[in-house]
Structure 1
Amino acid sequence: MNRRDFLQTGAYSVGTAGLLGAGSSLPFARPVRAASPKHGGTIRIGQSGGAVSDSLDPASFASGPIVTAMLAVCNNLAEIDADGNAVPELAESFNPSADARVWTVPLRSEARFGDGRALTASDVIASFNHHRGADSTSGVKSLLAQITDIRADGPNTVVFELESGNADFPFIAADYHLVVMPANPDGSLNWQSGLGTGGYTLEEHDPGVIVRLKRRDDYWKAGRAWFDTAELLTINDLTARQSALLTGEVDVINSVDRHVLHLLESQPNLSLVEVTGTAHSAIPMFCDTPPFDDVNVRLALKHAIGRTELLEKILLGHGALGNDHPIAPANRFHAADLEQRTYDPDKARYHLKKAGHTRLELTLSAADAAGTGSVDLAVLFREHAAAVGIEIDLLHEPDDGYWTNVWLKKPFVLSYWNGRPTEDLMFSTVYAGDSEWNESHWRNDRFDTLLSAARTELNEDLRREMYREMQILCRDDGGTIVPMFLNYIDARNDKVAHGPVASDRFLDGWKLVERWWSAV
């Protein structure tokens, strides 16, 4: 179904199955255990990304066990399924106007919060408005700026009005920040309650340590929430996380070290869960801070990184080369015809000289919290850059609090993105000039103009041309080095089972608590 076709229908569900390689198993992954789903048991998850600063406030969500937990406690209006579709969740359907500017969303009447109260339109409105306020620092605030009005049409229908059409609106509604929680009487969001309409209730939250969940017997969604309980442990140290799986302390871990894949595969009770997706490493530079305010310095650094060596040594081939923009080869509008940037010391020296330098000294903040192998990536980058006269001093930052104290705070850091299911979401979240998560402080008027135009364009060919130009702008002017795209590699033991897994993030799109089941 093309975009013009779906605008002529009453409900909306966009498919990106082939684009994201959703749920695709790699050749060495063991077949999924053929156990039928059943209720019972406990799933124990060892996950990176947790911190003592973790909060139940969805405006603060970044990654880690608290996000995975709250995606089991709560629901969104839509979710991304194993085929890459944005499918209704709390919404019964998504009904766009002819120009995709007004979306009417009836809600599921059977959905109830953990305290028994029925979901209403006021809860959805509060959940969205929580991120839209003038004082909001939510990572999704700029993405929701396109919403001009949210109103109830009766107790069980919500109407969203946008400043202009957006064919991808259901994908926005699936963003993990936009979990639906109860509204207070004054219309604000009662996130402190920890209540949601999902299949689990929050029993314990010790920030940066553990989250415990308990299954609800009255969950409205059929065929989901199989485990009786779930335990999500923060295990930021990679070796400790893998050891916990090997010793049976946990059943599932995220972000497996590629160097020990053979070790895990040799264990008869362990299996890899590997899918392709849009995850990528990134090295943002503040474009409003010297020396990165000079595009030639940025280009020098982009030519001074050996991507092929990084892919081979860091990912062991489990990924794809990056081209300094965030649109993965699996994405629908990936510009495959663009010349691949390679390690080129001569071009790096040329741009360094154009910037008025023969040598350059920089400090790069690095931590394993920025993704598996990030510190090793930084070490190799330092070696590559040294050959062209760029001396990089590595500042090894603490993993705990990295996303709070370092990322968005320092001008030259390692970053990591799970990617987004659409080009518009990825660009809007990180590369738009006014984005709260514009990690490189890059502003380009042409890019922002194209971003707005592509969002409403229904002609696929014209939209492809726009996204191609945007990828070129990121590559040649932007403030972020994107050296490579990563496969998602999780690992599990034989005590848990699952069906096809989503590829929008690790751990089945962070939805494994709801989707997986006990195999014992």
Structure 2
Amino acid sequence: MIDKITNWTKSDDARVEDAIRRGASRRELLKMMLAGGVALSAGGAVFGRAERALAATPVSGGHLKAAGISASNADTLDPAKASLGTDYVRCCSLYNRLTFIDVTGVPQMELAEKLDTKDAKTWTVTLRKGVTFHDGKALTSADVVYSLKRHLDPAVGSKVAKIAAQMTEIKAVDANTVEIGLKAANADLPFILALHHFMIVEDGTTDFSKGMGTGAFVLETFEPGVRSIVKKNTNYWKPGFPHLDSFEFFAITDPNARVNALLAGDVHFASAVNPRSAKMIEAQPGFELVKSTVGAYTNLNIRLDMNKPDFIMGMKHIVDREQIIMAALRGFGEVGNDQPISKANVYHNADLKPKAFDPDKAKHHFQKAGVLGQSIPVIASDAADFSVDMAMIIQASAAEIGMKLDIQRVPSDGYWDKYWLKAPIHFGNINPRSTPDIYFSLLYASDAPWNESQYKSPKFDAMMLEARGSLDDAKRHAIYNELQTMISDEAGTIIPAYTTNADGISSKVKGLQVNPLGGMMGYAMAEYLWLEA
């Protein structure tokens, strides 16, 4: 047998490392590598590389303190109601999901040992054995059925009720098996079950103040809007995890105060560092900045039902994307191509080029639209990150060709209710999603609840549904590539850049990786980080 690794990349190595960190068995690792084109006799080489990459042996013990960006009296330990990163971090430390998204954006198994389907409509979930809740109760299918059905109950108020509504049947086959029937075929179910809201809770739970889960930590203190402290689950089902003895999490809403707390040694971890403060951290010995560009963006929305096509095309060519990244984002971003699927997503269309910054072409389109010389209002607000700076840059470029953009800066308070989706030209702010289908159905389908530019295309809708139900990954790639092109060319949304998140850490913090679900290691950092002695 030839010791050859076919189409195996560094990102695939990272997946193996991530799987090892998450407690994958050797059998599961071999299946992963075989699927990626690794010969059995070459598997040892991959294992060896992974083990060497993890040779910085995690240290057990220590109390890690981390500061997030938001806090509220509505902070919750109920996964179904989680709405902020603050909630996600705590839920990730206390509970597990059936699946998780690894460092390359691919769903892997967690509480589920496997997910099987023949038609993408009926799915069989086989649960991992030997998993127990914090109170010692064994995980069974009843817990999974209860957890998933909660999202269908209007009285619960689940944040993913609309997504869960496609699950028309959820039943236990036996103590270790669950069957999920969908309204229509959806090959993305493994991605969906990895959303933070689909954490598995104990059957019958109505009081979530105890954070009773199967996760790496057990709750000690929870004060909504203030802080939480969790302690190591000594009976955790993943061997060797977690590394920390305890983890404390709270919010410091002021970005400068958050950075100052890190530099003063009051916290080990400061999330979402403002680009203006980045150099302060990088200049100080003993501290590091960990950056990740995973799909968040601020976009300029031009409603198709309120503006002429040539005006929209002119705007797409008057946006200097490189200048926006350097001046508005201070280097914290990657060039966008006017569609929501970033390079962090496996379905990103790398062949789709962004509209070129071309003032002459922009002027041509503005003249055709009959708007050159008119004053056109553009709504911006601090509520949409970087939008004010972006608007000023676009305004200056437009002014050089005689196009007048009236930048109207409005207060953050009430922006999302009064202006977003309503004003003819305004900015949006979109957080990362795990699949193209979620982006498309949320933002671009004809009936999308957040259809920012009022884009409506029966062809787009039909292709989106076709891709959703297909188990042929090559076919899905082809369809998603075309849908991204349609959005870039036809919709009225301009996405100049995908923004980069930066977390500031003490150099004592080890094990942090970038995850497509967002900063703080996709909010799951507590389980995998350790403190160097």
Q: Output the TM-score relative to the length of structure 1.
A: 0.81
Q: What whole-Å deviation, never above 9, does each CA across 1:120-178 have from its counterpart, x for those lacking one?
A: 32332232233334577655334334333111112332111223443332121111121
- Amino acid corresponding to residue 88 of structure 2 in structure 1: V
CA distance in structure 2 between the aligned counterparts of 1:214 and 1:406, rounded to whole angstroms? 43
Does 2:304 match 1:283? no
Which of 34, 42, 58 is residue 79 of structure 2 equivalent to? 58
Does 2:268 match 1:247? no
Give the drift of 1:83.
4.3
CA distance in structure 2 between the aligned counterparts of 1:210 and 1:180, rounded to whole angstroms? 23
Which of 157, 168, 175 is residue 195 of structure 2 equivalent to? 175
Q: What whole-Å deviation, never above 9, does each CA across 1:261-291 have from its counterpart, x for those lacking one?
A: 443233221122234x432313264849x73
Q: Which residue number corresponds to residue 166 of structure 1?
A: 186
- Partner of 1:337, secondary structure, is coil
Q: What whole-Å deviation, never above 9, does each CA across 1:193-212 have from its counterpart, x for those lacking one?
A: 53322122333344443232
CA distance in structure 1 between the aligned counterparts of 2:247 and 2:184, rounded to whole angstroms? 42
Does 2:445 match 1:427? no
Alignment of 1:366-381 (within 5 A): 366-367=382-383, 370-371=384-385, 373=386, 375-381=388-394
Does 2:107 match 1:86? yes
Give the drift of 1:516.
0.7
Q: What whole-Å deviation, never above 9, does each CA across 1:440-494 have from its counterpart, x for those lacking one?
A: 5644332221111112334444333311221122223334321102334322113
Give the drift of 1:191.
4.5
Are the aligned partners of 1:245 and 1:251 in contact in 2 as well (CA < 8 Å)?
A: yes
Larger mean CA deviation between 319-328 and 497-506 belongs to 497-506
Are the aligned partners of 1:359 and 1:389 in contact in 2 as well (CA < 8 Å)?
A: yes
Are the aligned partners of 2:160 and 2:197 in contact in 1 as well (CA < 8 Å)?
A: yes
Does 2:139 match 1:119? yes
CA distance in structure 2 between the aligned counterparts of 1:162 and 1:460, rounded to whole angstroms? 19
- Partner of 1:204, secondary structure, is strand
- Partner of 1:333, secondary structure, is coil
CA RMSD of superposed structures (Å): 3.6
Pair member with larger Rg: 2
- Amino acid corresponding to residue 283 of structure 2 in structure 1: S
- Amino acid corresponding to residue 137 of structure 2 in structure 1: R
Closer, same or farther: CA 55–383 of 1 in aligned 2, 3 Å: farther
Are the aligned partners of 1:201 and 1:216 in contact in 2 as well (CA < 8 Å)?
A: yes
Give the drift of 1:250.
0.9
CA distance in structure 2 between the aligned counterparts of 1:262 and 1:285, rounded to whole angstroms? 32
- Amino acid corresponding to residue 108 of structure 2 in structure 1: V
Does 2:89 match 1:68? yes
Q: What whole-Å deviation, never above 9, does each CA across 1:201-226 have from its counterpart, x for those lacking one?
A: 33334444323222222222223222
Identity of aligned residues (%): 33
Unaligned runs of 5+ in 1: 3-9, 18-31
- Amino acid corresponding to residue 107 of structure 2 in structure 1: A
Closer, same or farther: CA 223–432 of 1 in aligned 2, 3 Å: farther
Larger mean CA deviation between 49-58 and 226-235 belongs to 49-58
CA distance in structure 1 between the aligned counterparts of 2:120 and 2:33, rounded to whole angstroms? 14
CA distance in structure 2 between the aligned counterparts of 1:207 and 1:441, rounded to whole angstroms? 38
- Amino acid corresponding to residue 306 of structure 2 in structure 1: P
How many corresponding residue pairs?
486
Does 2:435 match 1:394? no
Does 2:337 match 1:323? yes
CA distance in structure 2 between the aligned counterparts of 1:123 and 1:85, rounded to whole angstroms? 25
Q: Which residue number corresponds to residue 305 of structure 1?
A: 319
Does 2:521 match 1:505? no
Give the drift of 1:252.
1.1
Are the aligned partners of 2:392 and 2:407 in contact in 1 as well (CA < 8 Å)?
A: no
Q: Which residue number corresponds to residue 219 of structure 1?
A: 236
Give the drift of 1:42.
1.2
Which of 169, 173, 183 is residue 153 of structure 1 equivalent to? 173
Closer, same or farther: CA 297–196 of 1 in aligned 2, 3 Å: farther
Does 2:375 match 1:359? yes
Q: Which residue number corresponds to residue 110 of structure 1?
A: 130
Give the drift of 1:337.
2.9
Give the drift of 1:112.
2.7
Closer, same or farther: CA 499–306 of 1 in aligned 2, 3 Å: closer
Closer, same or farther: CA 413–500 of 1 in aligned 2, 3 Å: closer
- Partner of 2:219, secondary structure, is strand
Give the drift of 1:338.
2.8
Q: Which residue number corresponds to residue 21 of structure 1?
A: none
Q: What whole-Å deviation, never above 9, does each CA across 1:71-113 have from its counterpart, x for those lacking one?
A: 11111101122344322111121122x2232221122333233
Are the aligned partners of 2:395 and 2:404 in contact in 1 as well (CA < 8 Å)?
A: no
CA distance in structure 2 between the aligned counterparts of 1:345 and 1:265, rounded to whole angstroms? 37
- Amino acid corresponding to residue 493 of structure 2 in structure 1: T
Closer, same or farther: CA 338–502 of 1 in aligned 2, 3 Å: closer
Which of 477, 482, 489 is residue 495 of structure 2 equivalent to? 482
- Partner of 1:211, secondary structure, is strand
Q: Output the TM-score relative to the length of structure 2.
A: 0.79
Q: Which residue number corresponds to residue 463 of structure 1?
A: 476
Closer, same or farther: CA 383–38 of 1 in aligned 2, 3 Å: same
Does 2:146 match 1:132? no
Which of 61, 64, 71 is residue 40 of structure 1 equivalent to? 61
CA distance in structure 2 between the aligned counterparts of 1:260 and 1:154, rounded to whole angstroms? 54
- Amino acid corresponding to residue 342 of structure 2 in structure 1: A
- Amino acid corresponding to residue 179 of structure 2 in structure 1: V
Does 2:507 match 1:494? yes
- Partner of 1:93, secondary structure, is strand
Q: What whole-Å deviation, never above 9, does each CA across 1:332-355 have from its counterpart, x for those lacking one?
A: 333333342134445555655666
Closer, same or farther: CA 349–434 of 1 in aligned 2, 3 Å: same
CA distance in structure 2 between the aligned counterparts of 1:51 and 1:286, rounded to whole angstroms? 33
Larger mean CA deviation between 144-153 and 498-507 belongs to 498-507
CA distance in structure 2 between the aligned counterparts of 1:85 and 1:347, rounded to whole angstroms? 40
CA distance in structure 1 between the aligned counterparts of 2:82 and 2:421, rounded to whole angstroms? 17
Q: What whole-Å deviation, never above 9, does each CA across 1:308-349 have from its counterpart, x for those lacking one?
A: 111122344443211110112343333333342134445555
Are the aligned partners of 2:269 and 2:505 in contact in 1 as well (CA < 8 Å)?
A: yes
Which of 161, 164, 168 is residue 141 of structure 1 equivalent to? 161
Are the aligned partners of 1:142 and 1:435 in contact in 2 as well (CA < 8 Å)?
A: no
CA distance in structure 1 between the aligned counterparts of 2:446 and 2:32, rounded to whole angstroms? 29
Give the drift of 1:255.
2.4
